[in-house]
Structure formats: structure tokens, C-alpha cells
Amino acid sequence: MKIPQENRQRRKPVNKVKKEVSVPSSEPIRLNKYISNSGVCSRRDADKLIEKGQIKVNGNVITELGFKVNPITDKVNYDGKPLTLEKPIYVLLNKPRGFITTVEDPEGRKTVMELVKTATNHRIYPVGRLDRMTTGLLLFTNDGDLAKKLSHPSGEVKKLYEVTLDKPITDEDYLKVEAGIELEDGIAKPDEMAIVSKDRRALGVQIHIGKNRIVRRIFEAIGYEVVKLDRVMYAGLTKKDIPRGKWRILSEKEIIKLKYLQN
């Protein structure tokens, strides 16, 4: 297994906000999607707003969940304020240690949102999560459809991690992980795995399971501590040209690949 290496010499600048110009389509869309894409809330929460009669379309209260609107000609209001569709934004961060993956933290800890606050004026949120001490690739977007696709278990999105253990892994334990480890929430089996250092402490692990702390739990179950965990590839995206703690906007080609991703 080949572990992608970070490009230490940036060939092009990162953390530059691209000009955001968007022309909405006149194709009718469901009202809950319009509300979600305007940055108010998720589609599920948008349905609740509709059911409570808190949404108006062209001055009329709408409570029908399947109601469709024309993004160009219809006027949608929530709480007396007009809603407008946001341009879809896709931001890729190379997350450093010490930041939690959440939009807000009541305990006042550092969140990943601090690292991408200059990426766009639109509301974006992380797709999935990395725990506080895990580093590497984290995607942010306001595209609810894509976020749902990438986060849902049926998507089987592949992630590649570089794992550093507290001690060399034995042949016996390597074969155990390769065959699958039984955890409290089921069998966890990597898609691919390889030892990538002479001291047998560093491994490359490719996995599509999206369960919480899955890589750490696999090795903890057989007596190893993961001292360093770095996500070096996510859904075909790599850390090339993104130094630790920095971000970049995805290219149009990358966005298309994500939307039509097939594993």
C-alpha cells in the first residue's frame, strides 16, 4: 500500500477565497431543500419548520412537506426574513491535532471551524468527524445532499490512514487485524493494510467503516495504543499542496468526482 506524502513545497497559494458567483436554476425544488441550501438548517429540521407553519412562500404559509418552489421566481420567508440559496462550497482541510470536529463547543474548546473561518462567507459544516488528536483530511460543505451521501454507511467511502502504534505489531496480531476484529458494535475489518516502517510501528490502513474511533478501537482491542493517526486520503482526495492547519477549495473536477463517487 502506498501512503501519499504531503507536498512540503507549496506550488500554489492556499487559503484564498475564490469569487463566489452563482446563477440559480429555475428547475423547481422541494421546499425543505431550498431552506437547507439557504443555510438555515438541515432538511430534517426544515420539515419541522414547514409543519409548524413557520415558512411562507410568496406570502402564503406552507405546511405541505412535498411542496416545491421555483428558486428564481418564488419568494421564501422564514421568521419574517427572506431566504436565498447559497452557492455550494467545498473546502478541504488538513486538520492539526487539538481541534474537535464540531460547529460549536459549549466547553469553549478549539473547533475545526476556527481553521476554515476565512474560507467563505457562507455557512459550511464538517462532513463526518475526526477526533481531537487525529490529524488529516476533513471536508466541509453546505451541500447537504453530498454530505449525506459521503456520511451514510451505504456510501462506503474509502479512507486511508497512516497509523503509528506504541510498539511494533507482531505477525500474529497483524493477521488478526487483517482478518477482522470483533468489537462491541460488530466486526471491523480493514479493506487493505500494510506495514510501512522498518520498526513495524507504522501501518497504512484503508477502511470504509464510518463508526466512531474505528481505527483506534481496532488496535486497542488487541493491546496496542495508537499514538498518531493521520487521515491521508478521503474519498479519493489527498493532502497534496495543503500544509497542516491549512485548507483549499476543491476544484470543479474534484467536486464532480465526489458527486459521482463509486467505490
Q: Domain ranges for the chain, please list them.
A: 29-82, 90-154+241-259, 158-234
Pick the CATH number of 29-82 from 2.40.50.140, 3.40.250.10, 3.30.230.10, 3.10.290.10: 3.10.290.10
Task: Write out pLDDT tens, residues 52-62.
Answer: 999 999 999 99
The mean of the pLDDT values for the chain is: 88
> Which residues, 6+ apart, have CB-to-CB distance to 112 below 8 Å?
93, 95, 99, 100, 101, 102, 126, 138, 140
Class of domain 90-154+241-259 as given by CATH: alpha beta
**Quick one: average pLDDT of 242-246?**
97
11 alpha-carbon distance from chain centroid: 25
- State how far the Cα of 22 lies from the Cα of 7, in Å rounded to an integer: 32
Strands (E), the chain: 29-30, 55-57, 60-61, 68-69, 76-78, 81-82, 90-95, 125-126, 135-141, 159-165, 181-183, 186-188, 192-195, 202-207, 226-234, 237-238, 247-249
Give the CATH fold of the 158-234 domain: Alpha-Beta Plaits (3.30.70)
For residue 42, pLDDT over 80 is answered with no
> Which residues, 6+ apart, have CB-to-CB distance to 42 below 8 Å?
36, 144
pTM: 0.76
Q: Which amino acid is at 178?
A: E
Residue tagged active-site, from 45, 79, 105, 131: 131
Domains 90-154+241-259 and 158-234 belong to one CATH topology: yes
Task: Look up cell 511494533; give the residue.
Answer: 168
pLDDT confidence of residue 204: 98
**Quick one: average pLDDT of 95-119?**
94
pLDDT confidence of residue 13: 45
- State how far the Cα of 89 lies from the Cα of 260, in Å rounded to an integer: 17
Examine the residue annotation and report whether 131 is marked as an active-site residue of this protein.
Answer: yes
Burial class (CB in 10 A: 0-12, 13-18, 19+), 27: exposed
Pick the range with the lowest mean pLDDT from 68-77, 150-159, 195-204: 150-159
pLDDT confidence of residue 21: 40
